[in-house]
Structure 1
Amino acid sequence: MASRPPTLKRKVLTARHEPEPVAYGQGRGGRPWRRLRDQILKRDGYLCQCVACKARPVPRVAHEVDHVRPVAEGGTDDPVNLQAINRDCHKAKTQAEALRGRKR
């Protein structure tokens, strides 16, 4: 009787081989963040709240939510620190923050 080849033998898995538990709904992209994002967009009337758009006669439509004070500089996810913002304005603001961070 032929024995099974060694490659088909079942290996005993240790704790090291077990997959990491998946934490669904954690961080930005999870359900709590989506709820907070929707709350902020409704609060701001789906209009961009950046400095440039507030100076315009007709502000742009907001697609995203941004931290007024970045988390890297001590900001939090508190609704007071969040604002609705347009994609293009958000991109420009993020680039300015990254440049400011590189200069430190």
Structure 2
Amino acid sequence: MQPPRFGRQAKPRKPWERPPRQPDRRKRGRAGQRERAQVLAEEPLCRKCLERGLEVATDEVDHIVPLSEGGTDTRDNKQGLCKPCHDAKSAAERAAARRSRPDLL
């Protein structure tokens, strides 16, 4: 039997949730929209598809190194990708995270 806990208790945090009072490094609001528009204007074609010789329009703005892995939210860490390439890259990153941290299932 556990002893009683008095005082205000923090609710348990899910493994993927940010700890409280940890700053969010993602740009939000007008600054984020402006940078997203800049990436789409500079890279109208998907970067991954161009490497394979295809010309597909950019749909998504992607962080090259994810913020969760220490990437920054600056322009040099962003790229334009089409939806299928972005989904594949995100799935691969989630799989790698699951392999390195099995508690994140």
Where relative contact order (Cα < 8 A, 6+ residues apart) is larger, the structure is 2
The one of 64, 81, 87 aligned to 2:77: 81
Partner of 1:49: 47
Aligned residue for 2:62, secondary structure, equals strand
What secondary structure sits across from 2:47 in the alignment? Answer: coil
> What is the letter of the counterpart of residue 35 of structure 2?
L
* Closer/same/farther in 2, CA of residues 64 and 28 from structure 1, 3 Å limit: farther
Give the TM-score taking structure 1 as reference length: 0.66
Q: State the superposition RMSD in angstroms.
A: 1.5
Question: Which residue in the other structure is 1:68 paired with?
Answer: 64
Unaligned runs of 5+ in 1: 1-26
Looking at structure 2, the residues matched to 34 and 72 of structure 1 have their Cα atoms a distance apart, in angstroms, of 21
Measure the CA separation in 2 of the matches of 1:80 and 1:28. Answer: 14
* Distance of 2:27 and 2:74 partners within structure 1: 13
Structure 1 residue 84, shift from structure 2 partner: 0.6
Q: Is the 8 A contact 2:60 2:82 kept in 1?
A: yes
**Shift >3 Å, 4+ stretches:** none
Larger Rg: 1
2:54 paired residue number: 58
Q: Which whole-Å deviations, capped at 9, do the CAs of 1:62-92 have from their partners, x for residues lacking one?
A: 0110000111111011100000110111011
Q: How many residues align?
A: 75
1:101 aligned onto 2:97: yes
User: C-alpha separation between the residues in 2 aligned to 1:92 and 1:29?
Assistant: 25
